[in-house]
């Protein structure tokens, strides 16, 4: 390894060995572990400046022709101060969109500028868990293929009012369909939000959620009153695996941005916070570029669904080959002189029964097989695997 002693002392020793004239330059350079080119460079620096010429010199460029102009740097800093939660990539995207005639620096250069001005907070390193297999979860391929919904988690306003943010978004375009405060996590609190979204944007094919209320319940097939309404509208409920929020990662990332830009800290009053959420939603949809959308905004990608909300919720329809029974208000179904409990969530809903063996009947709710009736043991068995049935099967 060259220069095992202090750099200046080692270089002086090299000069002394060469000046003594016992060995040619190539041999002296080999003994000191340096190349002939470096050896001649050190000799020239010593002859020009003496021992001071052997000190380390800066490797920085002597010219700064590629340095970011001060006026450009000022605009970058101003943009970073306005959108404090945005990183270099999004800042470059928004600046290019607003001033395309300017040759903006690369995002790495913008990152260096932000560091110099103290506008970057270092992140704590953490171990990332491997994502779980999504199983039956299907990615969105176009707008309204899949909507995603969740609660942000409650907090208190400055006046100690409870704030419960609720979000609904289109997964493919990242478009925030709704972002508002609700009074509770009940079906009655969130159904009006879904109804407004359906009326404004049409109906999606699927809605993904976690396994908490009002999206799911511990009952039959995990159905809730809200998810039964979705089924009647031809929307398939899609739930992530318990403890796997990464399967709903699009909305989880939205909630993080929501917290940073609109809830840190919470507003003084509930009304002020509600207005802040609406401003955030507009900015998220129409101003904030998204890397997954090639730096376009969600509003540039999203299109409403052609499937419109009907005036009344449609009833479940079954083919002539199924026997239809209506679930009573206590959640029970009458069959062959006996009463079988299904779920209070299904009260008033018709279910279809299809004989699949000499002793088993498949119980279907619209397009979903939810249970199996065993006439021999006289019990209702939850479906081991939820099966979506084609229209021809009903």
Q: What is the 3-state secondary structure (H, E, C) of 35-77?
A: CHHHHHHHHHHHHHHHHHHHCCCCCCCCCCCCCCCHHHHHHHH
How do the pLDDT tens digits run along the chain, 394 residues long? 444 446 778 888 888 888 887 788 888 888 888 888 888 888 888 888 877 777 776 666 655 556 788 888 888 888 888 887 788 888 888 888 888 888 888 888 888 888 888 887 766 654 433 333 334 678 889 999 999 999 988 888 888 888 999 999 999 999 999 999 999 889 999 999 999 999 999 999 999 998 888 998 888 888 999 999 999 999 999 888 877 778 888 888 888 888 888 888 998 999 999 999 999 999 999 999 988 899 999 999 999 999 999 999 999 999 888 999 999 999 999 988 889 999 999 999 999 999 999 889 999 998 888 899 998 888 888 876 555 655 444 4
C-alpha to C-alpha distance for 308 and 142, rounded to whole angstroms:
17
- Name the H helices within the chain: 7-19, 25-31, 36-49, 70-82, 88-98, 107-116, 187-201, 225-232, 249-262, 270-286, 298-301
What are 340's strand-pairing partners?
A: 333
What was the pLDDT predicted at 135? 45
Identify the CATH homologous superfamily for domain 146-301: Ribonuclease H-like superfamily/Ribonuclease H (3.30.420.10)
| pTM metric for this prediction | 0.70
C-alpha to C-alpha distance for 11 and 53, rounded to whole angstroms:
10
DSSP 3-state of 277? helix
Q: Does the N-terminal peptide bond of residue 265 adopt cis geometry, omega within 30 degrees of 0?
A: yes
């Amino acid at each position: 390894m060259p220069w095992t002693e202090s750099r200046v002392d080692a270089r002086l020793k090299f000069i002394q060995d060469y000046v003594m004239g016992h060995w040619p330059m190539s041999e002296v350079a080999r003994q000191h572990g340096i190349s002939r080119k470096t050896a001649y460079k050190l000799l020239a620096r010593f002859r020009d400046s003496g021992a001071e010429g052997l000190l380390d010199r800066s490797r920085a460029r002597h010219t700064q022709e590629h340095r970011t102009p001060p006026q450009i740097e000022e605009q970058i800093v101003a943009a970073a101060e306005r959108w404090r939660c945005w990183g270099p990539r999004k800042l470059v995207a928004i600046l290019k969109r607003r001033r395309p005639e300017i040759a903006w620096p690369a995002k790495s250069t913008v990152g260096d500028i932000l560091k110099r001005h103290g506008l970057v907070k270092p992140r704590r390193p953490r171990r990332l868990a491997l994502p779980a297999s999504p199983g039956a979860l299907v990615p969105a391929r176009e707008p309204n293929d899949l909507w995603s919904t969740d609660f942000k988690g409650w907090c208190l306003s400055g006046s100690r009012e409870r704030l419960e943010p609720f979000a609904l978004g289109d997964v493919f375009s990242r478009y925030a369909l709704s972002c508002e405060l609700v009074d509770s996590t009940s079906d009655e609190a969130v159904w009006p939000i879904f109804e407004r979204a359906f009326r404004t944007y049409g109906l999606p094919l699927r809605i993904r959620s976690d396994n908490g209320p009002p999206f799911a319940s511990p009952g039959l097939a995990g159905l809730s009153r809200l998810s039964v309404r979705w089924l009647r509208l031809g929307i398939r409920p899609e739930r992530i695996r318990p403890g796997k929020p990464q399967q709903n990662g699009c909305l989880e990332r939205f909630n993080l941005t929501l917290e940073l830009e609109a809830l840190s800290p919470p507003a003084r009053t509930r009304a002020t916070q509600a207005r802040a959420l609406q401003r955030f939603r507009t900015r998220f949809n129409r101003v904030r570029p998204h890397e997954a959308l090639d730096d376009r905004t969600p509003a540039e990608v999203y299109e409403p669904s052609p499937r419109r909300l009907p005036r009344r919720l449609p009833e479940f329809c079954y083919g002539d080959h199924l026997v239809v029974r209506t679930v009573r208000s206590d959640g029970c179904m009458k069959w062959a002189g006996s009463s079988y409990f299904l779920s209070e969530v299904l009260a008033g809903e018709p279910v279809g029964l299809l004989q699949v063996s000499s002793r088993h009947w498949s119980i279907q709710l619209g397009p979903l097989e939810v249970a199996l009736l065993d006439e021999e043991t006289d019990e209702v068995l939850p479906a081991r695997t939820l099966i979506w049935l084609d229209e021809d099967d009903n």
